[in-house]
Amino acid sequence: MLKLAPDAEQAQSLLATMRACNAAANRAAEVAYDQRILTFKGRDWVSILTLTGRILVPVAYQGRWLSASGTTMRGQADLVCRDGTLYLAVVIDVPEPPKDGEPDGWLGVDLGIVNLATDSTGQAHSGKAVRAVRYRNLMLRRRLQQKATKSAKRLLKKRRRAEARFARNTNHVISKHLVGKAQDTRSGIALEDLQGIRDRVTVTRAQRADLHSWGFHQLRAFITYKAAIAGVPVRLVDPRNTSRTCPACGHCAKRNRPHRDSFLCVACGFAGPADHIAAINIGRRAVSHAADDAA
């Protein structure tokens, strides 16, 4: 996101243009620009076509990768207004980070429902706040749907957007944290290969819907792209039995999971939260995959 620094007049014509486009396209408060109507003049200025003609707007940079060498912006951007400030969400080309061998280690990350993400050091990011917002809106929806008035619909729409924004922001915070942590420890990030998630038998039907929800995919996508920008390798591993295998003795059994959230090895007694155990196994599998690659 690039922060724009338009003067008052420029801001007004940008907002007017935005409003006009939205009325036509019936979209959220965003305008997609392509090369014909938006061009970058160096890195400090952007020329934007508005209803009142073309204007040259100064850019206050925010994305640190943009100043990094080798990145190039594509002439494709969304104009976004947040709390009165105008931003450009730009598409950039990031050069592939140099591959100087294996990272020092792998941070295994288990994505889930109770905890949105748990890493192999045992740090968990709870999904409680997101679920609470979702639940509140669900209840509201039930109440208002009987009314079906115009104002009720408007309120629902507003709430839905706020809910999506909140979930998105949460995913941004979590992914940023995980990638930062991997970067600090010169580690790669290991994730389960998504296909296999469906084979997990420990999730209920209701949770299954959650696993296929956009929020879950969004978090993966955020981790993947933030890692790419930061030069942190991401490796997808075979997800089979990650939550049933004992990291201490290697014993793999369904009975190692007495409850959905806990792990207790029936062979050696090793115990821990199920998602932490899964994250450890995921991280380790990335190491053995590395051995496969080398062979």
* Residue 165 neighbours by CB distance under 10 Å: 12
Instruction: Pick one of 248, 264, 271, 287: the residue that binds Zn ion (CB under 5 A).
Output: 248
3-state SS assignment for residue 131: helix
Contact present, 222 and 177 (Cβ < 8 Å)? no
Smallest distance from the beta carbon of 112 to Zn ion, in angstroms? Answer: 22
Q: In angstroms, what is the minimal distance from the CB of 118 to Zn ion?
A: 19
15, 260, 270, 287: which one binds Zn ion (CB under 5 A): 270
Binding track, positions 207-246, relative to Zn ion; x by CB under 5 A: ---------------------------------------x
Does residue 265 bind Zn ion (CB under 5 A)? yes
How far apart are the C-alpha atoms of 134 and 126, rounded to whole Å? 14
3-state secondary structure of 136: helix
Q: How far is the CB of 267 from Zn ion (least distance, A)?
A: 5
36: Cα separation from own chain's centroid? 30
Task: Pick the closer one to Zn ion by CB: 218 or 241.
Answer: 241
**Identity of the residue, 97 or 272, whose beta carbon is nearer to Zn ion in the bound complex:** 272
Whether the Cβ atoms of residue 285 and residue 236 lie closer than 8 Å to each other: no
Three-point CA angle 105, 103, 199, nearest 5°: 60
Verify binding: residue 264, Zn ion, rule CB under 5 A. no
Strands 38-41 and 45-50: antiparallel
For residue 13, count other CB atoms closer than 10 A to its CB.
17
Decide whether 251 or 260 has the Cβ nearer to Zn ion: 251
Binding status of residue 277 toward Zn ion by CB under 5 A: no
Q: Is 251 in the site for Zn ion (CB under 5 A)?
A: yes
User: Which member of 37, 203, 252, 267 binds Zn ion (CB under 5 A)?
Assistant: 267
CB of 258 to Zn ion, least distance (A): 14
Cα angle 80, 86, 88 (rounded to 5 degrees) comes to: 55
Q: Which is nearer to Zn ion, 182 or 274 (CB)?
A: 274
56 or 249: whose CB is closer to Zn ion? 249
Q: How far is the C-alpha of 123 from the C-alpha of 266, rounded, in Å? A: 25
Binding site for Zn ion (CB under 5 A): 246, 248-249, 251, 265, 267-268, 270
